[in-house]
Chain A
Amino acid sequence: MSGEVETLKILFDRYKISEPVSLEQQEYIIKQRKSDLKDLLKKSGGYGFIFWLSVLIYDSLRKFGIQATLVQSKILLGITAAVIVSGSSTGAYVGAKYIADMINGEQIKIEEKIKKDGTGLIDSDKKKSGQDKPSDIKKIDDKSTQESVKTRKAAEKSIRQKNDTIENKKHKSELESDPLSEVPTL
Chain B
Amino acid sequence: MKRSKNNLNIFTETYMKYYPQILSLILLKINDIEDARDLCQEVFIIFYEKCDSIYNIRPWLCGTMKNVLYRYYASKNQDVDIDKLFNSPELAFTNGFRDTRIIINEAIDHTGCDDEERIIFDLIARHNFSYENAARILGYTRRQVEYKYTQLVKGVLAYLKKKGITDIKELL
Contact = CB atoms under 8 A, between A and B. Distances in A.
A39 B150 CA distance: 36
Interface string B122-158: 0001111110010111111100100001100110110
A170 to B, nearest CB: 81
A25 B123 CA distance: 13
Given A46-B8, A46-B11, A5 B150 contact: yes
Interface residues of B, number: 58
Contacts of B80: none
Nearest to B49: A44
A186 to B, nearest CB: 92
B19 A33 contact: yes
Majority secondary structure of chain A interface residues (helix, strand, loop or mixed): helix
Interface stretch (A59-67, A76-84, A133-141): A59-67
B126 A10 contact: no
B69 interface: no
Majority secondary structure of chain B interface residues (helix, strand, loop or mixed): helix
Nearest to A64: B139
Contact of A65 (B15, B89, B139, B169): B139
A44 B89 CA distance: 32
Given A11-B172, A18-B126, A46-B11, A26 B133 contact: yes
Given A21-B24, A36-B19, A70-B12, A26 B129 contact: yes
Closest A-B pairs by Cβ, 3 of them: A62-B139, A20-B128, A70-B9
